[in-house]
Amino acid sequence: MSPTDMMPLENQSAEKHSGAYPGGSDAIGGGAVTLSGVHDSVREGVRLGLMVATTTWLWVALIDLIAGQPFHTFRLLGGIVAFTVMHYLLNVIYGMVIVSAIHGSVRAPSLVYALGFGFLVLEFAFAFITVILSNVGLGELAWLRIFAGSVIGAVVATVVLARTHPLLALLRQAEDEE
């Protein structure tokens, strides 16, 4: 984490990285991956979290609607408003953590491995939660509602991040450091 990442939100300004990363292709400059342009972990993380939260919220709502049980999952998980607030809050936090780790991996490439491990742990957690929810009211559609939603969210996050960050170059750099 950089000092900028640890500042209170009101004191953070956009963090600038210079380098050879032109708009989405992997770049390795001077033996190290760099980011070009302005990168702000909080702003980018909030944006990512909102995109993933909206995508997965719509997915769950759509599956509930197709199943003939509009908002059933939301009611089971605390009500529409409570679920929505918690869902968006957790996704925004998730987005900020992921983006901060990616920005940090420019300076400490091994963080890429921590991201991969964290992703696996999170997906296993969703699998366990899905098993529990399938037994307490969501039935067999829990896998489609919850687990498939988490996979869709992961795909959205990966696509968004790959467009703005040199993910493959960061992974290669981490491998080279071993």
Average pLDDT of the chain, as a whole number: 82
Q: Would you say residue 1 has pLDDT above 70?
A: no
Cα 38 to chain center, whole Å? Answer: 20
> Residue 50: its pLDDT value, please?
98
- Dump the DSSP string for the chain: --HHHHS-GGG--PEE--SS--TTS---BTTB----SEE-HHHHHHHHHHHHHHHHHHHHHHHHHHTT-TTHHHHHTT-HHHHHHHHHHHHHHHHHHHHHHHHHHHHSTTHHHHHHHHHHHHHHHHHHHHHHHHHTT-GGGHIIIIIHHHHHHHHHHHHHHHHHS-HHHHHHHHHHT-
Kindly provide the b/e burial profile for residues 6-31, where b requires at least 16 CB atoms within 10 angstroms of the residue's own CB: eeeeeeeeebebebbbeeeebbbeee
pLDDT 10s digits, 99-114: 999 898 888 888 888 9
pLDDT 10s digits, 64-82: 999 999 999 999 999 999 9
What is the token pair recorded at 110?
């091994």
Q: Would you say residue 9 has pLDDT above 80?
A: no
Of all residues in the chain, the percent with pLDDT exceeding 90 is 58
pLDDT 10s digits, 40-73: 899 999 999 999 999 999 999 999 999 999 999 9
Q: How many structural domains does the chain have?
A: 1
> Residue 37: its pLDDT value, please?
62
Distance CA 34, CA 38 (A): 12
Residue 35's pLDDT band, with cuts at 50, 70 and 90, is low
Q: Token match 């290669």: residue?
A: 172
Nearest to 46 by CA among 82, 2, 99: 99
pLDDT 10s digits, 124-176: 999 999 999 999 989 989 999 999 999 999 999 999 998 988 877 787 887 78
For the whole model, what pTM was predicted? 0.76
Contact criterion met (CB below 8 Å) for 145 and 132: no
Whole domain around residue 134: which residue ranges? 3-176
